Structures are given as structure tokens and as C-alpha cells.
Amino acid sequence: MGERRRGKTLENAILAAVWVELQQQGYQKLTISAVAKQAQTNKNTIYRRWENKVELVFAAIQQHAPKLTLATPNTGSLEGDLKQLLGFLTPVLETVPQETWKQLLPEALSTFSADGNYLNGLVKAINEDNFITLQVKKIIENARKRHEHVRSSVTVDQLTLPALLVVNQILISGRLAQSKIDSLVDEILLPIYIKAAK
């Protein structure tokens, strides 16, 4: 009989099984039963670690996605910094097919009220303390130091807008193409952050 797996070893085996099932079956057809069979464990073991399929799949994506560079962009312009910031998620989004994101995020949002705790990451993505919003604050401060014509007062809603736009775009298309990043920055964000010419 094989040695009983525990802790991180068992967790890695389960997440590897999720990854295999996700590649072979896609998100919609992936089941906890199939993951348990693939990982040679049982459903109870999985549910003790992850509350549901959404949380389990997020964990597998996080394990397989490339690690992000989290430094504040410093391209020399507000426009360049915002575009670089919004582009930082592209490698993660390309980890799984577009359809996976389009199916996964709506399900995550619809189950949020029932199991609030596991979606802390998604909540952080849209509140005022999330990574994107904190970076936007720094980017705007840097633009002011460079004497770009940034508005003297930028509201919390305006600061959180980039994060909301990113989440919305992922919900709609499962991707954040460079052309979309360019239009979000040029047509929506810059007109909000830059003083109108008199």
C-alpha cells in the first residue's frame, strides 16, 4: 500500500489533478469527484481545504500562473504607467482559456453571498485597498512630481475605476488585450485624471 500523503504534498497532488481536469474537460465539466479520482483521494479531503469548485480552481490557477512583477510602473508618463499597470495581469489571464475566465468569474460572483470568505481575493480586486488601486495612487503621485497636468483632486471612485474596468473586461471577454488596455487608458482614464485644457 502507498504511503499516505499529507499537508502540502496532498494539496499539490489535488491542485495538479485540478489542472489536468481543467485542461481536459474545461471549467464547466470539471467536477470535484473527477478531481478526487485523478488525485487518488476523496471528496471530503478536498472539501476540508476548499469550500467549492470555484475556490479550488482559483487555487490551481494561482499555482500554475507565472509570478507577477509587482513594482510600480515608471515609464516616464502617466499614460505609459497606466498601460503597463493594466497589462500586468495578461500573463495570468493567458494561463487558462478565455472561456474559463468567462465561466469562472460570474460563478465566483454569484456564489459570493453564500460563501463570503473564499473570495477575499476577488473582493480585494475591487475595493480601495487592492493592488491596482494602490498602484494608481502611486502612479498619479509620480505624474504630479513630473509636473504632468493631473487634476489636483482625484476621488476614491476615480482611483478604484481601473480595477473595476479590469474585472469588467475579464467578465466580458476573459482577456485584457493590449488594444483594450489602450482604449481604457486613452478614452476613459486619462480624461478623468488629466486636467482639461482651457
Quick one: pLDDT at residue 196?
A: 77
- Which residues lie below 8 Å from residue 22, measured CB to CB, with a gap of 6+? 30, 57, 60, 96, 100
**How far is Cα 168 from Cα 183, in angstroms, rounded to an integer?**
14
**How far is Cα 188 from Cα 55, in angstroms, rounded to an integer?**
32
**How far is Cα 8 from Cα 122, in angstroms, rounded to an integer?**
24
pTM over 0.85: no
**How far is Cα 61 from Cα 23, in angstroms, rounded to an integer?**
11
194: β partners: 150
Give how far the C-alpha of residue 101 lies from the chain's centroid of Cα atoms, to the nearest Å.
10
Quick one: pLDDT at residue 114?
A: 45
Domains in the chain: ranges and CATH: 7-64 (1.10.10.60), 78-193 (no CATH)
DSSP 129: T
Helix (H, G, I), strand (E, B) or coil at 150: strand
- Regions of the chain where pLDDT drops below 50: 1-2, 113-119
Quick one: pLDDT at residue 109?
A: 74
Quick one: pLDDT at residue 3?
A: 57
Buried b / exposed e along 133-154 (16+ C-beta atoms within 10 A): bebbeebbebbeeeebebeeeb
Place of cell 475605476: 161
Quick one: pLDDT at residue 151?
A: 94
- Which residues lie below 8 Å from residue 110, measured CB to CB, with a gap of 6+? none
Let me know: does 163 contact 133? Beta carbons within 8 Å.
Answer: yes
Place of cell 473564499: 118
Let me know: does 32 contact 39? Beta carbons within 8 Å.
Answer: no
Quick one: pLDDT at residue 116?
A: 46
Quick one: pLDDT at residue 91?
A: 87
Place of cell 497606466: 82
CA-wise closest residue to 69 among 80, 85, 81, 83: 85
